[in-house]
Amino acid sequence: MVSASSPTQVNKDEQEVQRKIHKPRWLEGFLTKTFFDSCPTHPFRRNELNKYCINCNMSACQYCFSSGPHRHHKILKIYRHVYKDVVSLSAMEKYIDSSQIQPYKCNKRLVISLNPLPHCGSAINNEASCNTCNRKLSDPDLYRYCSITCKVKAVLSKPNDSDPPFISIQSIPPPQENQEGGSEPQSQKKKRKGIPQRAPFF
């Protein structure tokens, strides 16, 4: 009877939840990193830590990536919006399901916040607020969370909820497969070229 609630059983349950969520291992570290401090390794101009290496799980500056071992690693560039760290929506979508996270416009670029932004005050109507922190959403019909952190907390607390699972970085094809995948648009073009050939039959 006692063995039913043994630590090994608990670990198996946690592993099962993690498989359902598909949370990338680096995501938690990424959300707790500090950016835009001066790089201690490169005391040069414009040496702010505004990049994140997924492979090494560390923040770094532009000199770290140009001269260090990160040259072929997966990199995310961090921006500042309302004094908060944000990342490009199109870049983040390659690694996690960013749907239902409210984007913001920063220098003509759609970005999503790592953590809740300060200007998102509490909403009077709960239906118009973030499901996690109750901060106001600009478009609650399309979005449910104001930041990546808020969605992570929601998905982890309710793994069987209607939220789409996160996409694990292991599921992303390596660069060589991406190059092979680049041939898909060419095959689509060939199909499109076949359409005008049907014209004489009309």
d(CA 68, CA 32) in angstroms, rounded, equals: 23
**Residue with the two structure tokens 């399309």:** 142
User: Looking at residues 80-106, what average pLDDT do you find?
Assistant: 93
Lowest mean pLDDT among 6-10, 76-80, 149-153: 6-10
Tell which residue, 50, 72, 68, 74, has the closest CA to residue 60.
Answer: 50
> Looking at the predicted structure, is the pLDDT value of residue 197 above 60?
no
Q: Which amino acid is at 11?
A: N
d(CA 128, CA 150) in angstroms, rounded, equals: 15
Instruction: Evaluate whether 35 touches 22 at the Cβ level (below 8 Å).
Output: no
The 8 Å CB, 24+ separation contacts for 50-57 are 50/77, 50/78, 50/79, 51/75, 51/76, 51/77, 51/78, 52/76, 52/77, 52/78, 54/26, 54/30, 54/95, 54/169, 57/26, 57/29, 57/30
The tens digit of pLDDT for each residue in 138-173 reads: 889 999 999 999 999 998 887 554 555 554 434 443
The structure's pTM equals: 0.67
Q: Which amino acid is at 145?
A: Y
The tens digit of pLDDT for each residue in 9-37 reads: 545 555 444 444 567 889 999 999 999 99
pLDDT band at 121 (very low <50, low <70, confident <90, very high): low
Sign of CA dihedral 136, 134, 162, 85: positive
pLDDT at 19: 46
